Amino acid sequence: MTNAIESTRRHPHGSVIVTGGSRGIGAAVARLLGARGYPVVVNFVSDTAAARDVVRSIVSAGGRAIAVQGDVACEDDVLRLFAHAEREFGAPAGLVNNAGVTGGFARLEDLTHDALARVLAVNVAGTILCAREAVRRMSTRRGGAGGSIVNFSSLVARTGGADEWVHYAASKGAINSFTIGLAREVAGEGIRVNAVAPGLIDTDLHAA
């Protein structure tokens, strides 16, 4: 299901796709981008109402935004997300890989396979798949105009998450490695790749 809240004219500098943009850090990033004049594509998994609220706040402040439902762990959803964003605003100028899950609190001996698989699918595979689609559209080697990719890591990648979520910490360590490698891979193609590693933030993710 694709939920386009507002179809708008294309922006000369391209839009920014924010995964997991309906709440927490993602929503704050989406609103700031909208305030700075970027058309924003707010990706969300299931909370349509929250995504609509973010889009409406951007539009009411004079910005441009749409919401597109999709699970970044699903390749078909990622392809649809980028295709829809491109139809609405043209090739993206930026990607904020914010979508993530913790897999719940658990010591390693209590960790289930399903929880681990979901964390890796969303946090690692989802980030890589979204970055792949962004590179395909941004790379000057492929005819793009360049752009910026920001991956969300976490301070826990350094501290390790012992007794709480070593699985989540490991997934964010993977993001750090991926960011370094991709930055070097596409630096000559007009694409900047960086990672942001927040500490403890008062968001729904931690409240849950």
CA nearest neighbour of 42 among 125, 119, 99, 123: 99
Q: Is 168 a catalytic residue?
A: yes
Q: Which helix (H) or strand (E) holds 196?
A: strand 191-196
CA nearest neighbour of 195 among 171, 177, 169: 177
Look at residue 84 and give its three-state secondary structure.
helix
Which residues are registered as beta bridge partners of 16?
A: 40, 94
Determine which one of 168, 170, 175, 178 is catalytic: 168
Tell me which amino acid residue 28 is.
Answer: A
Show which residues are catalytic: 168
